[in-house]
Each structure stands twice: as C-alpha cells, then as structure tokens.
Structure 1
C-alpha cells in the first residue's frame, strides 16, 4: 500500500510538472520559436536517466535507495534555482519582445550543446567507473548542463526592437497570468491565425469522405474538451499516438525481459543505452521542421507520419530475424521514432487544437499512455506465459516457495513483435490520414507567414 501511494503521488507530480513546463513554453515564446523551445525541453527529459545514474554512481553505486533520495531532492532544488530566472526573464512590457532571427541563433547554439551533452552522457554514462572517476564524469556532465545558461545570459532577456513587431513573433504577455485550464467558452483567438473548421461536402467515394469531412482549413483553433472529443482529427491523432509512441514506451519497459529471453542479459545495459540515446536524438530531430521550414515546406503532421515509419519496420524485422544485431537495430529505430513523436506531439497539439488549451488537451491526448501500457503489456504477458514453463523459486527472506513462469528463446516475443508491428502500422495509417486532412491548413499558415513577411519587408523599405 505504501509503494502504491508513493507511485500515485509521484505520477501526479510528474503529470503536473510536465503540464506546467509545456504551458510555460507555450506562453513564453513566440509562435515561430515555440516548437524549438518545446522540443529542446522535452529532449533533455531523455537524458535524466543517464544523469541520475551518474549522480548515483558518484554518491553510492551499490545503494538503490539513493535514486529515491535524488528523485526527491534534485527536482526541488533545480526548480527553486530556475524559478527566479523564469520570473526575471519574463517580459511585462508590451514594447519588449524577442527577435525571431536572433532567437534562431540562440536555439541553434542550445541544440549543439544538447547534442554534445547527449554524446557525453551516452559515452561516459555506460562505463563502469570508480568512485573518484564517477565524480569527475559527473562534474563534466553538470558543467555541460550549466553551459546552456550562458547563451541566453549573453543576450538580453528583454531585447528592444525599434522596428514594428513581426506579427508571428509577438508574445502574449497576459498569458502568464492565465490559469492552466481555460474556460473555452470565452477562449481567445490565436495571434497567429484565424480559427475555424469547415465542413466539406460529402464526397462520392469513401476515401474522399474520410479525407474531407470536417477537416481543418486553418490552424490554432481553440478546442474545449467537448469540442475536442467531437473532432475527427483528434481521434486520428489519438490513434497515431496510441498505436505509435506508446508501443515504443511499452517496448522499452519490457526490454529487460526481452533481453533475458534472447539470452542477452549481459547486453541489457547496452540495449538500454541504445534506446535512451536514440530516443534523445529522436527528440532533438523533432526540431528539424522548424530549422528547415524555409527550405522544406512540409506539414508537422507529415513529419509525424514520417517518424512513425521506422517503428513497424523494426517490429517486423525482429519478428522475422532473431539475431542480436537485429535486436539492437530494432531498438535503435524504435527509440528514434518514439523520441521524435514524444517531442513533436506537444507542438502538434498546440497547432491543431489551440495553444491556450494545451494544458488540458495534451493531457487528454496522453491518457492513451496508461491505457496502451495496460493493453500492450497484457499482450506481451499472455504470449510470454503461453510459451513459458512454470518454475518453483524459494524466497530467501521468508523461505516460501513461489511459482513463476520463465520463457527462453525467440518464441517468447516473436508473436508479440508481430502484433506490435500490426498495431504500429495502424498508427502509421492513421497519421498519414491526419496529414492528408491537415496539410491544407498548414499550407494556408505558411502562405500567411509569407504574406506577413513580404508586407513587413515592404514597410521597412518604404522611405
């Protein structure tokens, strides 16, 4: 009961903390830089396990309880340290705003530092070190984690621009005082785009009906919870997430048992390092649409669909081939794919269903994670138990005999990989349909940005 209550409190804390961070990014950055900030913050989530491992190895490498102590202390200390900087750097003057071009260089520097930090933690975090060496490695990691503070500090938190503000770069400075959950009956319109959803006439063919009926033509419409669950695009998005990133998460949770059944217990640490590092770099790659938007005009939902392609491929490969190289390659592909989706999903939710409602709408979306974990974990357990053998084990603490099922060999997860592959293929199909339904809205948004940029250029050139 005590463990259950601790897990319950921790789960609620994590959900609240993530929601606040997402909302803070949405409200503190302009629409052009918002996805970059979200992607960067979510990317560092993928490094937390490696960082905590370094910290634990430096303090007490043979004490599992040190992880609980670190989880209780580190988030609180970091939050208290970061709070003054967040409050001081939040501008309240309507004449002060960020300059998108200036910010792009800052974010590029931050992403380079994040990439270097990820490489450092992946390389040195996987080594078994002595206590003194662990402190050296930990110090290096802390320096790398502190370096990103130098880049924003080198520029002014409030940059004064004498030119007219760019429409897509303005910050809504009243947002910081809004509640996390808004009453959408009085929700405000997005600064970037007009909000509307149109009903298209019924098409003759079934495919035309699926692609056209009720699709969005303009982004950033604020959706209440009632309106959200009545939206076809939301359920396509929900299925894509439920049958995509959530499957990758369940795979990572079962990776220990998968390695054991393949007689690869000694390589479990390596497999976990491969998954976590690829997940981190996948999260970083989710920023590509924003860095390449001037050269590659492609809807973010299209990038989401492209990110889902490797996942069914990986599961079908592991279903057919049972060697260790395929297992490592499949783990890497699943990590990249799920990491990209985890990071891109917040921006997609904001763009499709409104930035002011992100706190509520994204939490509705991620209800698929516990549901998927239960369903996909149960599928894996049923296949594992059906192919395993019952064994009697004596508990050394109380001397009681317990019965457990142990399964060894590819048969333990072969059927599971096939089922997971079919499920992720369904997610891929759903994401492709979502892309086809929303590409018009993204094209309209890109066209509006071009018009705004051209108009501003003409005004600036006027003598």
Structure 2
C-alpha cells in the first residue's frame, strides 16, 4: 500500500484504539450494580474508582517505554496489562496513539490528535451497547469482562498499523481531513440520537450496536479512495514515462532533478533537527516553570472534576430517582465525543495566525462546567440531562485540548513523558474529589448505605462548582502569562 493511503489507515487504526480505550468511562453504567453485588459502601466504591485511575500515577513509564521500545511492543504490553487486570493499560495504549499520530501527521498533529481522541468519547456508549446485547442482567460482570478482553482483541487487529511511516505532507491531506470531519460529525449525530430514551426504547440493542460499528468502519472510505486515486495517477504516470522513455534529454533532466531533491531533503532534515532541539524540554526543566504548575492545577479543577462527576453519575442518577442511568452514560459519552471533535475542528480552521490560545480555550470550557454543577442543584430531570450534556462536552473538549496544550507549552520532543506527568493529577483529584462526594453521600445516607434525595450531592455540587470557577481563574492567569511571553517573542 502506498505511504499516503497507509498514513490514513494508521489514523483509522488509532481511531479504533481510542474508541475501545475508555474502559474507565463506562464505570458509571455498572457501578451501582457492582456496589450492590459486592455489598460495598459508597466509600469503598470511591476507592475502586480511584484504583481505576491510579495507574496514571505511573503513566510516565509508558512514556519512557515509547522512547526506547518499538511502539507495537508498547501497545502489546498495555493490552496484556489490561487483559490481566486494569493494570494502567489505558496509559500505554493512549500514548501509542498519540506518538503514532504525531509522527505520521507531523504537519497537522494537533488536528489529527483531536480527531482520533474524539472517538474515545464513544467508549462508554460502545461498551454499553455491547453489554446490552450480551445480557441485560449481571451487567457488572459483563462490563468487567469486556473491559478486559475487548482492548486486547482490537490491539491485536491494529498492531501492524503502529509504525512510523515517515511520509511528507500529501497534497490530499486537506481533502482527507474534511471527509473525516464529515464522517465524524455524522457519527456523532447518530450517537446522540441513538442515546435518547425515546429512540432506545424503539430500537433493539443489536440494531443500535450494528449502527455504531458501521460508523466506526466509515473512515476506511478515506484510505480506500486515496489508494484508488493514487493507483490511477500511477498508471497515468507510467504510461507517460513509457511514451517518452527514449528521450535522452528527458533522462538528463530527471537526473538533475534527483540531485536537487537530495539537497532539499538534506535541508529539511537539518530544519527538523533544529526544531527538535528547540522543543527539547525535559521533566526537570518543565517542573521549574510556573506555566507547568499553573497548568497542573488547572487540569484537576476542570477535566478531573468532570471525570469524577461522570464516575459518580450512576449514584447521582439513582439518588435523584432517575432510572435511565444507561441513557445518561450514553448521552455523556456522545457529547464528550462532540467536545473532543470540536477541538479538532477548531485546530483545523485556526492553523493560521488566528490560532486560539489553548489556555484561553480551557478557561472558556471550565466556566460552563461550573455553571452546570450549580444547575444540578435544580431537582428536575431536565436539569440533570442538561448538566450531564454540558459537562460531557466540556470535559471531552478539555481532555483533547490538553494534548495540544502540553506540546504548545513544553514542546513535542518529550511529549510522551511530559504529558503523563501532567495527567498524574487525575488520580489524585479523583481520590480527593470523589472522597468528598462519598463523605457527603455517606453522611446523608440511611439504611443499606443508600442515599435518596437532593441532599445526597447538594454540598458536593456547590464545592465542585466553586473549585471549577477557581480553576477558570487560574486558566486565565496562565493565558495572560503565556500571551505576554508570546508577544515578547514577536517583538
């Protein structure tokens, strides 16, 4: 297969990996049942949720491994860890997706990463649909089994796509991205519609699953169409070469062009090497910068709070008397998908001098998240669904933007290790914020460790909303500081 077509095929492989790599995002779909099955308290359930995120504390090992080991081996290590137990497999798989995407789409890495990362927002919906098809009873066991086996199977299928192609920017790259955006938007619309309760009640789980699988295979059209177009162009080129093959002047010109190309390639390599040296910022240097600490504390008050809310979504819905937890999980998953996709589209259309600051984008996402937490103080189901959708889209967009933010602030040379250091705050925040929610839940609870009513999470939502507003303030400080540095560099 030609390098350009394989380039897009590798992107599709990363999309599939991202789509099954959100094994911790489906936790709210079965957490209530697991709590009842194992006779757990809310505090114990929070500890279990923390354990599922705790692997990120050691995520930098996957970053180091990606720098010294073949990427296919890093992928298989991650999938094997997931097969045995949770074992931090998410960090290993996701870092492979990032590195492959950055290397194969070096000129458009932010757009490509945003595009692939968006599909991680579908994980909860995919797992929920498969679990509904397999069994609507004992879903806790079904989810745990799927979380273990499914990533391993998909990793085996996509392992041959985990390679550095080294292809230069194709003339079809923009067309490819536009087509991918159209396919992805169609996928998102289908997922949102199929998550609505009025639709799920009229569509069988099997038909719903078939629909989502079809949307996952649609991106193959980009790689296939590129391959066909390149074959047609190759055939035309070969026909023309045969016609003029005997012209000595043509051969002389061809040799001259070959020499010129070698010189240009050498110049390109020098520029790339110089760029790499410029981007070289290691963990020690990064930890000395105020930008890092501002960014490090912005993240837990934004994306981490959103993730903690989604982890507790099952208990939140149950306490408010909402019986459609699976619909809520699918809704948050679908809107999280759109949030991640939104950041990719913004990156694509703002690649010029009008590019939007990542820190400003984070502040713009955190403000509505804070408002959504305060909206949850309203006891209506509409408020619950609306807040879940807002938190889902903002958390998804924040998670996707954070990848580009790390490279924007600290360069791409040591991205694999640097970004895993940044996201180490997720398990810390998950434990602290989740523990706070569990304490309030336990205090307001009654018999059998259950809590029913608005008081179960009222204080929690007030604290989370206030913290999110404080995080918005920190993001604005980060934006002001980085903007000042950028203006000094320009002048």
The alignment's TM-score, normalised by the length of structure 2, stands at: 0.69
Corresponding residue number in structure 2 for 1:423: 467
Counterpart of 1:278? 335
Q: Please state if 1:67 is matched with 2:148.
A: no
Aligned to 1:240: 298
Report the CA distance between 1:135 and its aligned residue: 3.7
1:18 lines up with 2:94 in the alignment:
yes
**Aligned-pair distance for 1:322?**
2.8
Alpha carbons of structure 1 residues 26 and 172: separation in structure 2 relative to 1, 3 Å = farther
- Confirm or deny that 1:329 pairs with 2:386: yes
Q: Which has the higher contact order (CA 8 A, sep 6+)?
A: 2
In the TM superposition, residue 69 of structure 1 has moved relative to its aligned partner by: 3.9
Question: Of 290, 299, 318, which residue of structure 1 is paired with 2:376?
Answer: 318
Q: Which residue of 2 aligns with 1:150?
A: 221
Distance in 2, matches of 1:409 and 1:103, equals 53
User: How far did residue 129 of structure 1 move?
Assistant: 7.2
Q: Is the contact made by 1:299 and 1:442 (CA closer than 8 Å) also made in structure 2? A: no
What aligned pairs does 1:303-452 form with structure 2 within 5 A after superposition?
A: 303-319=361-377, 321-389=378-446, 391=447, 404-440=448-484
Aligned position for 1:180: none
Structure 2 CA distance for partners of 1:171 and 1:114, relative to 1, 3 Å: farther
Aligned partner of residue 100 in structure 2, secondary structure: helix
Cα 1:439–1:325 shift into 2, 3 Å: same
In the alignment, structure 1 residue 119 sits paired with structure 2 residue 194: no
Instruction: Give, in angstroms, the shift of residue 139 of structure 1.
Output: 3.0
1:400: which partner in 2?
none
| Change over 3 Å in CA distance of 1:290–1:443 after alignment to 2 | farther
**Equivalence for 2:177:** 107
Q: Which moved more, 1:335-344 or 1:5-14?
A: 5-14
Separation of aligned partners in 2, 1:66 and 1:408 = 27
TM-align CA RMSD? 3.5
1:190 touches 1:355 (CA, 8 Å); kept in 2? no
Q: 1:82 to 1:441 in 2, by over 3 A?
A: farther
Q: Contact between 1:27 and 1:171, CA under 8 Å: does it hold in 2?
A: no
> Take 1:27 and 1:366, find their aligned partners in 2: how far apart are those partners?
21
Please report how far the alpha carbon of residue 75 of structure 1 lies from its aligned counterpart in structure 2 after TM superposition.
2.4
1:190 lines up with 2:275 in the alignment? yes
Following TM superposition, by how much is the alpha carbon of 1:172 offset from its aligned partner in structure 2, in angstroms? 7.5
Aligned mates of 1:276, 1:48 — CA distance in 2: 7
Gaps of 5+ in 2: 1-47, 53-80, 235-256
Q: CA deviation at 1:232?
A: 0.5
Distance, in Å, in 1 between the alignment partners of 2:268 and 2:316 is: 48
Q: Secondary structure at the match of 2:417?
A: helix
Indicate conservation of the 8 Å contact 2:283/2:418, yes or no.
yes
Q: Is the 8 A contact 2:347 2:355 kept in 1?
A: no
Q: Between Structure 1 and Structure 2, how many residues are aligned?
A: 379
Corresponding residue for 1:268?
325
* Larger fraction in helix: 2
Q: Deviations over 1:252-309 (max 9, x none)?
A: 1111111122222x23233223222211111111123323314844212211221112
* Counterpart in the other structure of 1:301: 359
Distance 1:309 1:128, change over 3 A: closer
Q: Which stretch shows the higher mean deviation, 303-312 or 404-413?
A: 404-413
Following superposition, the deviation at residue 43 of structure 1 comes to: 0.8
Deviations along 1:327-378, one digit per CA (max 9) or x if unpaired, are: 2222221111111111111111112111121111111111111101110011
1:332, 1:98 → 2: CA distance?
37
TM-score by length of 1: 0.73
8 Å contact from structure 1 (residues 189, 222) kept in 2: no
SS at match of 2:275: coil
2:8 corresponds to:
none
